[in-house]
Amino acid sequence: MKLHKDFAGFILLFHKYKADYLLVGGFAVSIHSQPGATVDIDFFRLNRRLLTEENLKEH
C-alpha cells in the first residue's frame, strides 16, 4: 500500500523520536483486511508523562 508523502513523513517523525503510537481508523482496517476508501489517517499517541502511579490509581 502506497502512502501519501505527508503521511509517510509523519510516521517517520514518530519513529525518529521513538514515540509510542497506534494507527487506528479506516486506514488501519484497510491494511489488515479489505481496502476501503478513506482520505485521512488516524493515530493514537501515548503520552507517557500521564502514566504516573497516581494517575493510574485514580482511574
- pTM, entire model: 0.54
Q: Look at residue 8 and tell me if it is in a domain.
A: no
Please, are residues 36 and 29 in contact by the beta-carbon 8 Å criterion? yes
Instruction: Supply the range of the domain harboring residue 31.
Output: 20-58
Bridge partners, residue 22, by sequence: 44
In 1-59, where does DSSP find H-type helix?
5-16, 26-32, 53-58
Q: Look at residue 10 and tell me if it is in a domain.
A: no
pLDDT of residue 36: 67
Per residue in 29-50, pLDDT (tens digit) is 676 677 767 677 788 887 777 7
Please, are residues 46 and 20 in contact by the beta-carbon 8 Å criterion? yes
Overall domain count for the chain: 1
Q: Look at residue 5 and tell me if it is in a domain.
A: no
